[in-house]
Every structure is written in structure tokens, then in C-alpha cells.
Amino acid sequence: MADDGLLHDVPGQRPVVATHERFVGKVWDISSDEVDLGQGRVVTRDYLKHTGAVAIMALNEAGEVYLVRQYRHPIGAECWEPPAGLLDAPGEAPVEAAKRELFEEADLTAATWHTLVDYHPSGGGTSESVRVFLARDLAEVPDAERHAREDEELDMEGRWVPLETLVASIYAGGVHSSSAVAGGLALHAALLQDLAPLRPADAPWMRAPEHTRLAR
């Protein structure tokens, strides 16, 4: 454990006595684990097994970030959020997945990549881990080379938004996406420190054990 005066989550899974697969879906599964907490305490915990995901805060020289407004069916709303996607391609490094998602959802490429922030959206209910990257030195993908979008992505809106507007929208309760909130506030704080908190794009990442089948 690093002795740097900072807080550090402590990895280490408690023994699992038994696992019961409750649901097998197209993208993720739901399981019940019987977990031995020690001292005779065995509890059952239901949770969603998740591949993990990446999101990208693409920052241009004008201080704007690129956001998309995408329909999210479970909450019945179109949400403003950064380009993002699942880590569902076998062997694909997280930063390469981020490059792919930026290309597919924003028609952008970036020459400079850093890790901005990592987070668990709901550690009590899902194994999902999310890494938010900062992408800079951007270029537009030529029209003839752009990705053909489908499903919810087919008609989603993309827009350059001043970072200050995103931050104000978060505090006003207008933006709720976890990746937008975590990424927007982390980027705002990092810029106040001249981006000193940034980590390398391949920085260590404390993710949950691999639970979900990849590339279904």
C-alpha cells in the first residue's frame, strides 16, 4: 500500500461459498453470491456482473467538451454525457476502447490521452468499473471514414459545450449522467491545478474481477 498520505481502497474479495446465476442477458448477467464475511456470517448478495466501461472527456482549445445526448431506456430520458462504451472486446486495452468510442460516437480522433478519473457507479449493486479519459489535440474524422451509427446512437445529438456550462448544469440538477458528473467535475478540478493530477493513459486501474462473458 502506498504511503503517500492519501486514501486508498483495499482490494480483496471475501470467500464466495456459492454462486447462483439468476439471469443471463445480452450484455450483462445477474448473480447471487453467498459470501463468507467471517465469524460465522454468510450473506447473500445480488449484483449485476458488468464488463466495465470507458468514457471520454474530449477537450478542445476553446475550453469546450464534446457531449452527446443519448436515449437511456431504463430511466426514460435523453441524457447529456461524454462519448462512452463497454469494455466488451476481448484483449482490447481500455485506452484503445476509448479511441474507438470517440471515433464512433463523436467523429473525432485525439493525439494526447490521459486518465482523468476512475469510479464504481454503484459498488453495492454492480461490478461495473468506469475509467474516464481526457482526450486532447483533437481532429475530425473525414466524412467518408465516419462510423455508421445505429439503434439509440442513430439519432443522438452531439454538441461542443463550454466546460463551465457543463459544471453549472451539473450543480443546477440539469445533467445526471454519472460519467458526465464525474468527468466534468474531475476535469474542472484538474484544470484549476494546470492538469497536474492527470495520470498516464495506461495507469493502474483497480477493477473488479472479470465476471462477464466478453464479445457475446
Cell numbers placing 154: 442513430
Give the number of other Cβ atoms within 10 Å of residue 195's Cβ: 14
Active site residue 157: no
Distances (CA, A) of 50 to 2, 86, 125: 28, 9, 10
- CA 141 – CA 180 distance, rounded (Å): 23
Catalytic residue, candidates 92, 104, 153, 210: 153
Name the residue with cell 482526450: 135
Give the number of other Cβ atoms within 10 Å of residue 90's Cβ: 8
Active site residues: 153
